[in-house]
Amino acid sequence: AEHVKDDLSSILFTKEQIAEKVSELAQRIDHDYQGRDVLLVGVLKGAVPIMADLMRQLDGQYPMDWMAVSSYGSGTKSSGVVRILKDLDTDLHGKDVLIVEDVIDSGLTLSWLRTNLESRGTSSVEICALLRKPEAMKTSIDVRYVGWDIPNEFVVGYGLDFAEQYRNLDCIATLAPHVYE
């Protein structure tokens, strides 16, 4: 494999900054969910690193489950119509669900997902996203736990991909122009 760090133009967040932010989020979540019956729901595949790190910073009991979703239509992922490729294994009745995401872009995936999960008899559905792009959002969505708001730029690493590449970077970075050209 090529050295992926040669393809980066600037690093937005280092692995140390990410670890500190994830730890802060975990403390808030532990505080807010004391005594509750919580299920962490990760959205494949981008949420894998944040889920793996966040869950190990949590002190309470937090089972996890996963969904894989895909937008309907040809290529454009902003239709807001979502297809479930892999559903949860867990019955959500009475559960306090915390959706774990790497990034909120248009917000359409999460907006649809929250409504879908709420229809299954949950007690509550909240969202934890490491990154959010306010300028890209096409729907207003209430996100209780946000790591950072970032400009509407293409970023990779820590789960975020460009054509399925760069997910394994330990930092979050912008891509160098030569990668696109």
Among 32, 87, 102, 105, the active-site one is: 105
The DSSP result for 89-134, as a single string, is SS--TT-EEEEEEEEESSSHHHHHHHHHHHTTT-SEEEEEEEEE-G
Q: Which is nearer to Mg ion, 26 or 175 (CB)?
A: 175
Of 14-22, 57-65, 85-93, 154-162, which segment contacts Mg ion by CB under 5 A?
154-162
CA distance 73 to 180: 24
CA distance 147 to 128: 8
Q: Which residue is closest to Mg ion by CB? A: 161
The nearest distance, CB 130 to Mg ion, in angstroms, is: 14
Of 2-10, 26-34, 105-113, 169-177, which segment contacts ligand PRP by CB under 6 A?
105-113
Q: How many residues bind ligand PRP (CB under 6 A)?
A: 15
Q: Out of 7, 161, 165, 171, which residue is the one contacting Mg ion (CB under 5 A)?
A: 161
The nearest distance, CB 87 to ligand PRP, in angstroms, is: 16
Structure tokens at 141: 């969505």
Handedness of CA 116, 21, 174, 49 (dihedral sign): negative
Partner interacting with residue 106 (select from Mg ion, Mn ion, ligand PRP, none; CB below 5-8 Å by kind): ligand PRP
Identity of the amino acid at 79: S
91 is an active site residue:
no
Q: Which residue is closest to Mn ion by CB? A: 46
| 49 is a contact residue toward Mn ion (CB under 5 A) | no
CA distance 167 to 164: 7
Of 34-42, 51-59, 104-112, 117-125, which segment contacts ligand PRP by CB under 6 A?
104-112
47-62: string of b/e by CB count within 10 Å (b at 16+)?
A: bbbbbebbbeebeeeb
Contact residues toward ligand PRP (CB under 6 A) are 43-46, 77, 101-109, 161
Instruction: Report the catalytic residues.
Output: 105
